[in-house]
Structure 1
Amino acid sequence: MPFQLKPTLREDLATADRALVGGWVCSGSPVMAEIMAGSGLDVVLIDMEHAPNTLESVLAQLHALSGYPVTPIVRVPSADPVIIKQVLDLGVQNLLVPMISTPEQARDVAAATQYPPRGIRGIGNALARSGRWNRVQNYLGEGAAHVSVFVQLETIEGVENAEVIAAVEGIDGIFAGPSDLSASMGLLGQQTHPDVVAAVKRTFAAARAAGKTAGVNAFDPSAAHDYLDAGAAWVLVGADVALVARGSENLAADFIPPSAH
């Protein structure tokens, strides 16, 4: 019996009648992943760049998300084609690759996610969860259809190259990272500085010009709403670790007298 994979984030964005909203799982915990998955969010991103994740922990979180109507995406730690191959073989259908600043880097990412002759992805679907151990009919021939690829623009060079990066064949969209972008602009820690916000919005226009979608990371609610109004197709608005940190701080503030600290 052939196995049917879920639609990709590319397909979700193409058919959505509104912007999609998601959150991060940075704890490495499948329990936290499942809690986020059941929240009503559209997208849950599992982070491998700044979180304590291994291939095994990512797989456990994919399992935790699989029973919920949420779209998982994994941010790999780098554009290393070996890591990309391994993550795709885990069954990851939606990939975010950080620190992309040039079209050449984007083309390398696209090649790493596709089988020959279009790319360089190693063939292991019979042994891997990606093709459900040969249960997905014609996975090799249709592998690109089962994977959506987004690249994260986190430098001013990336913003300047946004349209040509978005136009690269095999790249489905771009995603702005205001934290590193602000540092690139000499505004470290000032993600909502007007110049940073303006640069992010330039990526939205660039994506539209290339016929692609653009997203952004925005934990500040006012910034997130502003980006949605400006045309972001998807916005990540919070993370499990940040939600627990702020929630536990609020508990302490509510119940422990300031003099006890």
Structure 2
Amino acid sequence: MEMHKNLFKAALKSGTQQLGMWNTIPGLAVPEMLAGAGFDWVLIDTEHTPVDMAEIVTALQAIGQYPNVSALVRPVANDPVVIKRLLDVGAQTLLVPMVDTPEQAAAAVAATRYPPEGVRGMGLTTRAAGFGRVANYVQAAATEICVIVQVESVTALNNLDAIAATPGVDAVFIGPSDLSASMGHPGNPGHPDVQATIDTAFARLHAMGVPTGIISLDPEAAKRYLAAGVGFVAVGIDLAVLRQNIDALRAQF
């Protein structure tokens, strides 16, 4: 049995832009519905949601029915135990939150690597290893694992170049909401100072040849990011889309 190929990581390397959606509603139906909508990727968020490990497996299975759609997972924290469990159940692309220093970036990478390169614990009968059917999983797992670090504070921006240059970091994602709070504009990621800071960060990363990502619920801003060369952009959150459409429906009566 061959290991599952990470299409998202391959697209990052080739420079292909990818459009995505954020999944925050637990269960099977919503991630399956999002995956069938034609997006390139769906992120299963566990940082700001009640999604538990069993539901992550269900979501991965639901998204996996669509072979051209990649599943990303955001851990609750940059924790090697949490990351180990996510990798074991089959997550291949992780968006690691709150990375402020190159040391934290290196720790995130180490959590995805088996010794001696890292600290990931051995589990050879896991879902990721085809329940033991992928003969070379231990040797080849790192080639298909994608580590995205989330930069979302002034401290992180001050360390941006070193974070992005950390071996094993595949991409840098700018978190606009927490960045806006860190800059003194909580709840206002569209503030001109925040947007100018994000644009500068992307310019620095692109000059380094580092793939980039962001989330924007403003379609015009999302289009601007794509035009600027941002590699992967989330354009919606399931709960936000649901709320907006429910409110619009109610307003008609």
Give the TM-score band, short-chain normalised: over 0.9
| Greater Cα radius of gyration, structure 1 or 2 | 1
After TM superposition, list the pairs within 5 Å mapping 1:117-156 onto structure 2: 117-124=116-123, 126-156=124-154
After TM superposition, list the pairs within 5 Å mapping 1:37-48 onto structure 2: 37-48=35-46
Maintained 8 Å contact 2:15/2:231: no
CA drift at 1:156: 1.1
Structure 1 CA distance, aligned partners of 2:97 and 2:217?
18
State the aligned residue count.
Answer: 252
TM-score by length of 2: 0.96
Letter in 1 for 2:105: A
CA drift at 1:148: 0.3
CA drift at 1:8: 4.2
For 1:11, the equivalent position in structure 2 comes to: 10
Letter in 2 for 1:86: R
Equivalent pairs: percent with the same residue? Answer: 41
TM-score by length of 1: 0.93
Offset from partner CA, 1:67-98 (integer Å, 9 cap, x none): 11201000001001100000000100000000
User: Deviation above 6 Å: which 4+ runs of structure 1?
Assistant: none
After TM superposition, list the pairs within 5 Å mapping 1:183-202 onto structure 2: 183-202=181-200
CA drift at 1:4: 3.8
After TM superposition, list the pairs within 5 Å mapping 1:167-186 onto structure 2: 167-186=165-184
Letter in 2 for 1:193: H
CA drift at 1:16: 5.1
For 1:259, the equivalent position in structure 2 comes to: none
Maintained 8 Å contact 2:170/2:211: yes
1:58 to 36, 56, 59: 56
* Structure 1 SS opposite 2:54: helix
Maintained 8 Å contact 1:85/1:112: yes
CA drift at 1:29: 2.3
Larger displacement relative to structure 2 (129-138 or 180-189): 129-138
Question: Is there any run of 5+ residues in structure 2 with no aligned partner, and where?
Answer: none
Question: Is there any run of 5+ residues in structure 1 with no aligned partner, and where?
Answer: 257-261
2:219 to 211, 221, 230: 221
Q: CA RMSD in A?
A: 1.2
Maintained 8 Å contact 1:131/1:139: yes
